[in-house]
Amino acid sequence: MSKVFKTFFTIFKILSIVTGVLFIIYFWNLDQKLMAWAYVQVNKIFDRKKADIKF
């Protein structure tokens, strides 16, 4: 019984940590801030390229 309880407690602890991290990401809107930073970096890279538009 002790091994079953220890396994259950470990699984519960892992799920609690994952839920806490996801709540923090959602609460502080970190996913949107990360994507905004990524868009800026991508735009910096592609804005340096010369446009190859031919008319």
Q: What is the DSSP string of 1-55?
A: -HHHHHHHHHHHHHHHHHHHHHHHHHHTTHHHHHHHHHHHHHHHHHHSSPP----
- Cα torsion 45, 47, 52, 55 to 10°: value is 160
In angstroms, the CA 42 to CA 26 distance is 24
| Predicted pLDDT at 13 | 98
Low-confidence ranges of the chain (pLDDT < 50): none
Assess if residue 25 is contained within a domain. Answer: yes
Number of domains the chain is built from: 1
Q: Is the pTM of this model over 0.85?
A: no
Does a structural domain hold residue 52? Answer: no
Provide the pLDDT for residue 49. Answer: 64
Q: Report yes or no on 6 lying in a domain.
A: yes
The answer to the question of residue 37 being in a domain is yes
- pLDDT, residue 53, reads 67
Q: Residue 40: which domain range?
A: 1-46
pLDDT at residue number 32: 85
Is 51 part of any domain?
Answer: no
